[in-house]
Amino acid sequence: MSDAVDAHQVVVALDVGGTGMKCALVRPDGVTVRTERHPTNASRGPTAVVGTILDVAEGLAEKARADGLTPIAVGIAVPGVVDEARGVAVWSANVGFRDVPLRDLAVRRLGLPTTLGHDVRVGGLAEARLGAGRGTGHVLFVAIGTGIAAAHVVDGRAAVGAHDAAGEIGHILVRPDGPRCGCGRPGCLEAIASASAIGRRYAELSGATADAPVTAAEVAERAAAGEPLAGEVWQEAVEALADGLATGQALYDVATIVLGGGLAQAGDRLLTPLRAALHERMTFHREPRLVAAALGDEAGCLGAALLALDAVGVRDHQEKR
Ligand SMILES: [Zn+2]
């Protein structure tokens, strides 16, 4: 770890999602100097997607050099199952990866040390070190979108797990008689409280058709406007989330829970009732601070950069507590 961070150094960072890639050049102090977005076009198949990832990363490294900057590392975040130690994208439903040795492919193409990370874990890393959890040491980052996943970050490091599968908080059993989850079991948290589950539940009870789906954001809005059915569905989700987070707090005893993903954009419509429901569930546990994510959809890219910087031993002093 060097105290004198070279102001010309940058990391090439990519956050690869099912629909798009967020890409950036990030300085060791976490400042982004250039951003780009590219479509993933996952339907082309994993080989083509890998080709685009490598082209985009190489293009960013070249642009950095043209601007007088020195790319020192590459950080790539992908969804699904990621073997961080071997740098392999093991499996991903929405990008189609099956055992892709992405790290070695990037090293070969760019000649730079490369780190592969998991999208939610690196997002949590960024929120814990640069965002809403900054300065609090123990952070649970929970991303709520089509699914629910979490990252447990302690002193700036996200736990990966023995089998690269830490943080699957969406599959905590909260309602044994509840709807069936995508994993096959009934009653998982994400089958009740993910953004897609909330929209689905409202549609089911209101008789809305598949032609006019209702999003979780609309359910939140209708609930706030006093519509009883929306209020009921929203509260069901809040109670389930509080059960899941209370389990999380019992396991991890964090200082701060950061909520990210699409559902967190509901802001106080989510946070206010969720804080109350979580408070009710605390007995001897210390209540965590519950806050919305601060970095928006840049978190994955920043986290990929942080992971890469950690791997090459560069950590900016501004981040140290
Ligand atoms: Zn499940």
Residues 6-24 have pLDDT tens digits of 779 999 999 999 999 999 9
Q: How far is the CA of 54 from the centre of ligand 1 (A)?
A: 33
**What confidence tens digit (pLDDT) does each residue in 227-281 have?**
999 999 999 999 999 999 999 999 999 999 999 999 999 999 999 999 999 999 9
How high is the pLDDT of residue 38? Answer: 97
Q: How far is the CA of 191 from the centre of ligand 1 (A)?
A: 7
Asked if residue 320 has pLDDT above 70, the reply is no
Q: How far is the CA of 170 from the centre of ligand 1 (A)?
A: 6
**What confidence tens digit (pLDDT) does each residue in 160-213 have?**
999 999 999 999 999 999 999 999 999 999 999 999 999 999 999 998 776 778
Q: How far is the CA of 45 from the centre of ligand 1 (A)?
A: 26
Cα–Cα dist 168/248, whole Å: 11
**What confidence tens digit (pLDDT) does each residue in 76-131 have?**
999 999 999 999 999 998 899 999 999 999 999 999 999 999 999 999 999 999 99
Q: How far is the CA of 144 from the centre of ligand 1 (A)?
A: 14
- In three-state secondary structure terms, 156 is coil
Q: How far is the CA of 185 from the centre of ligand 1 (A)?
A: 6
Two structure tokens written together for 311: 């791997």
Cα dist from 223 to 247, 270, 280, whole Å: 26, 11, 21
Q: Are β-strands 157-158 and 148-154 bridged in parallel, bridged antiparallel, or unpaired?
A: antiparallel
Asked if residue 1 has pLDDT above 50, the reply is no
Q: How far is the CA of 36 from the centre of ligand 1 (A)?
A: 34
Residues with CB in 5 Å of ion ligand 1: 171, 181, 183, 188
How many residues are given for the chain? 321
Q: Which amino acid is at 148?
A: I
| CA angle in degrees (0–180, nearest 5) for 25-31-33 | 40
How high is the pLDDT of residue 4? Answer: 53
Q: How far is the CA of 183 from the centre of ligand 1 (A)?
A: 4
Q: How far is the CA of 173 from the centre of ligand 1 (A)?
A: 8
Find out whether 266 and 105 touch, Cβ atoms under 8 Å: no
Q: Please give the model's pTM, rounded to 2 decimal places.
A: 0.93
Q: How far is the CA of 239 from the centre of ligand 1 (A)?
A: 17
Q: How far is the CA of 203 from the centre of ligand 1 (A)?
A: 21
Cα–Cα dist 169/129, whole Å: 21
